[in-house]
A and B are shown apart, each in its own frame.
Chain A
Amino acid sequence: AQSVTQPDIHITVSEGASLELRCNYSYGATPYLFWYVQSPGQGLQLLLKYFSGDTLVQGIKGFEAEFKRSQSSFNLRKPSVHWSDAAEYFCAVALYSGAGSYQLTFGKGTKLSVIP
Chain B
Amino acid sequence: NAGVMQNPRHLVRRRGQEARLRCSPMKGHSHVYWYRQLPEEGLKFMVYLQKENIIDESGMPKERFSAEFPKEGPSILRIQQVVRGDSAAYFCASSPRLLSGTEAFFGQGTRLTVV
What residues of chain A lie closer than 8 Å to B59, measured between beta carbons?
103
Which of A32, A41, A103 has the largest number of chain B CB atoms within 10 A?
A: A103
Asked whether B25 is an interface residue with its Cβ less than 8 Å from the other chain, the reply is no
Supposing A90-B42, A97-B56 touch, asked if A102 and B106 sit within 8 A by C-beta, the answer is no
Q: How far is the CB of A36 from chain B (nearest CB, A)?
A: 7
Q: Majority SS of interface residues in chain A?
A: strand
Contact of A101 among B44, B56, B105, B108 (CB under 8 A): B56
What residues of chain B lie closer than 8 Å to A34, measured between beta carbons?
103
Report the bound CA distance from A41 to B45 in whole Å: 19
Report the bound CA distance from A107 to B43 in whole Å: 8
B103 touches A46 (CB 8 A): yes
What residues of chain B lie closer than 8 Å to A107, measured between beta carbons?
42
Contact of B99 among A43, A90, A104, A108 (CB under 8 A): A104
Supposing A32-B100, A43-B91, A43-B108 touch, asked if A103 and B56 sit within 8 A by C-beta, the answer is yes
Q: How far is the CB of A90 from chain B (nearest CB, A)?
A: 6
What residues of chain B lie closer than 8 Å to A90, measured between beta carbons?
42-43
Residue tally, chain A, CB below 8 Å to B: 27
What interface size band does chain B fall in? Answer: 20 to 34
Asked whether A42 is an interface residue with its Cβ less than 8 Å from the other chain, the reply is yes
| CB interface residues, A 21-54, toward B, < 8 Å | 32, 34, 36, 41-46, 49, 51
Chain B residue nearest to A88 in the complex (CB): B42
Report the bound CA distance from A97 to B59 in whole Å: 11
**Which residues of B are in contact with A by a Cβ distance under 8 Å?**
4, 33, 35, 41-45, 48, 55-56, 58-59, 91, 93, 98-101, 103-109, 111
**23 residue pairs A–B, Cβ–Cβ below 8 Å:** A32-B101, A36-B106, A43-B4, A43-B91, A43-B107, A43-B108, A44-B43, A46-B103, A94-B100, A97-B56, A99-B56, A100-B55, A101-B98, A103-B56, A103-B99, A104-B45, A104-B99, A104-B104, A106-B42, A106-B44, A107-B42, A108-B41, A109-B42
**Which residues of A are in contact with B by a Cβ distance under 8 Å?**
32, 34, 36, 41-46, 49, 51, 90, 94, 96-109
